[in-house]
Structure 1
């Protein structure tokens, strides 16, 4: 196992702690594989309650409190496997506050001038809420004291994100933004991202990634309790695509790499806004149908009453020059090239 600590800015005690837990990682993974748990269905089958002030699990004050969130939504496999792994260990009191839908590229945005809906979620062994806002909304709301009875968690964990959050992609990442918001609020934080490879990676890799991250989480909590964890730092952890085959970790600085952005034109007749507009304008649709029917009837009457071939020219609109300031409306779609930050996880029922 190789570990690079050259020119790093973290305390030596934290580095030593991480080295020790990673050395024993293989034994821990083997133990977990022999005592594997398969509670995906029990954790994912959940019911929603319209009253967000009802807690579904009584908090255990004797255990350190961990706050879990992510950017891909509360139903994403990464969050599910992370919560499962932490619950299986049993040493923490888990509280989840995550977006209702995929907000993986929301960045550090917040919801203003709109009401944010919060629903309690049944998640065996944890107190959980889903929020209609962004990942930063989730963290800010969770730390406000309006949802949970505790005043401050020991650690916030954002993830596991199904895509890279390294380089300049961290500025787009909702998962990194959630960890950064916790840091701004004075709460130590970790962001976990898995290097998902299209047509290569599968959901079981996310489960392995969660198990690999457990020693790092244990080390972070232990150093926080010993006041050895850096207060002005969040750890952005990138997990390799083959979690069980990794050889250790390397402390590094943020690179300048980012995924190229590609804007693609979208046909207006394929844009959903047109259909939504017509569906919301029922009276307009009725009038258009009436006009079409009347025009068809008038044309049929003219053809019956005419004994010679006629050429008819009908004009719709006001005669004259075209308005030189006509509004031009186009539609575009943004895509990340060679990056799968925004994955559409199927909602588990």
Structure 2
């Protein structure tokens, strides 16, 4: 899919000249249109981000800016890049001012809100997504897309994170278009009420869209569950050790795949392979700093993947359970556990009003 379109006049000028500041300010300071910043975890070319940005541009109601990772950083959690230089390169997305960044989602949001990249100080709303794979339960701690929204909240900017419950052999890229249609009313309601000053304070909303977005059962306010997949570490013998590029590939079914092992493996199959590989595992002699063999050092190779497991909790108000039942799960996330109850009540009242179209 071609996600980048040629529209050079939408790109910001080089930021090293005074003309750049004047030009950007002229475009960005359009008071009739609020500024919306979009980031994600899957990378700037991912269909979830592209379809979302295209839809926001078509609305014609917002100045849309994009600052997203240039590659997949979906399991980067809240990591930042310190003491290293990152590059921000202009990207072409029709109707939006966009940059791709050689860093994490948190780097992208932090840079965008710093005033160093864009001439404006703060957008009205930060949207992180749409992510390929759910971010329910404990996976929120791994999730780069949730971290992007959380970083905006750190900076005092309202934010939403959006994920699609992608399933292998069932989902397709057009589902992202349906997911955009599902979340657009919530985005519009959020922008409307942020401008009115009645959007819930001190919280970010995590929106989880079911596998078949067009047949969802409606919106449901949910609580973050304790759900997580089961990590499976497997030893890999030297003659089967993949190249570094292959090992670090990040194709995922849950939005949390750390390394590709076997996408079709069952838990039982993984266990059998683990037993076999342990028997045949080779201990590899490593090379010391001086270039000499060190027989006392051993190098072993491992891969890890997350496997689905049955969840015992049947509470219908938990995020993963509502998602499995076909609802769009909206979970308010606060920065302080001490205000979580008040935040949940405020978010509940706002979501109830927003999804029913109350003014």
Q: Does 1:115 align with 2:88?
A: no
Partner secondary structure for residue 297 of structure 2: coil
Deviation (angstroms), 1:242: 1.1
TM-score (norm 2): 0.65
Please give the secondary structure, in 2, of the residue aligned with 1:328.
strand
CA distance in 1 between partners of 2:221 and 2:307 (Å): 27
Residue from 88, 95, 100 that aligns with 1:125: 95
Which moved further from structure 2: 150-159 or 239-248? Answer: 239-248
Which structure has the larger Rg over C-alpha atoms?
A: 1
Q: Which residue of 2 aligns with 1:262?
A: 232
Q: Secondary structure at the match of 1:201?
A: coil
Cα separation, partners in 2 of 1:253 and 1:42, compared to 1, 3 Å: closer
Tell me how far apart the structure 1 counterparts of residues 135 and 15 of structure 2 sit (CA, whole Å): 31
CA distance in 1, matches of 2:209, 2:140: 15
Which structure 1 residue ranges, 5 or more long, are not aligned? 1-39, 275-322, 340-349
- Does the 8 Å contact 2:136/2:224 carry over to 1? yes
Once residues 37 and 236 of structure 2 are traced to their aligned partners in structure 1, the CA distance between those partners, rounded to angstroms, is 40
SS in 1 for 2:303: strand
Residue 66 of structure 2: aligned partner: 96
C-alpha distance in 1 between matches for 2:294 and 2:29: 69
Deviation sequence 1:270-329 (CA, Å, 0-9, x none): 34359xxxxxxxxxxxxxxxxxxxxxxxxxxxxxxxxxxxxxxxxxxxxxxxx9961111
Alignment of 1:33-182 (within 5 A): 41=2, 43-44=4-5, 58-59=27-28, 61=30, 62-182=32-152
Whether 1:236 and 2:210 are equivalent positions in the alignment is no
Structure showing greater relative contact order (alpha-carbon pairs closer than 8 Å, 6 or more residues apart): 1
For residues 115 and 12 of structure 2, what CA distance do their matches in structure 1 show? Answer: 19
Q: TM-score, normalised by structure 1?
A: 0.67
For 1:219, the equivalent position in structure 2 comes to: 189
> Paired residue for 2:223?
253
The 1:51–1:243 alpha-carbon spacing in structure 2 relative to 1, beyond 3 Å, is: same
Q: Which whole-Å CA distance do the structure 2 matches of 1:179 and 1:87 have between them?
A: 20
Structure-1 separation of matches of 2:116 and 2:97: 14
Structure 2 portions without partners, runs of 5+: 246-292, 310-359
Higher strand share: 2
Is the partner of 2:168 in helix, strand or coil? coil
Alpha-carbon distance between aligned partners in 2 of 1:258 and 1:50, rounded to the nearest angstrom: 45
1:197 to 148, 167, 174: 167
- Residues 45-65 of structure 1: CA deviation (Å, up to 9, x unaligned): 688999566699833612000
Note if contact 1:156-1:187 (Cα within 8 Å) is conserved in structure 2: yes
For residue 243 of structure 2, what is the aligned residue in structure 1? 272
Partner of 2:300: 330
Q: How many residues align?
A: 253
| 1:140 positional shift | 0.3
RMSD: 2.7
Partner of 1:14: none
Tell me if structure 1 keeps the 8 A contact 2:236–2:303.
yes
Secondary structure of the corresponding residue to residue 56 of structure 2: helix
> Are residues 88 and 43 of structure 1, via their aligned partners in 2, closer, same or farther at CA, if it must alter by over 3 Å?
farther
Residues 71, 99 of structure 1: 8 Å contact kept:
yes
Distance 1:112 1:77 in 2: 29
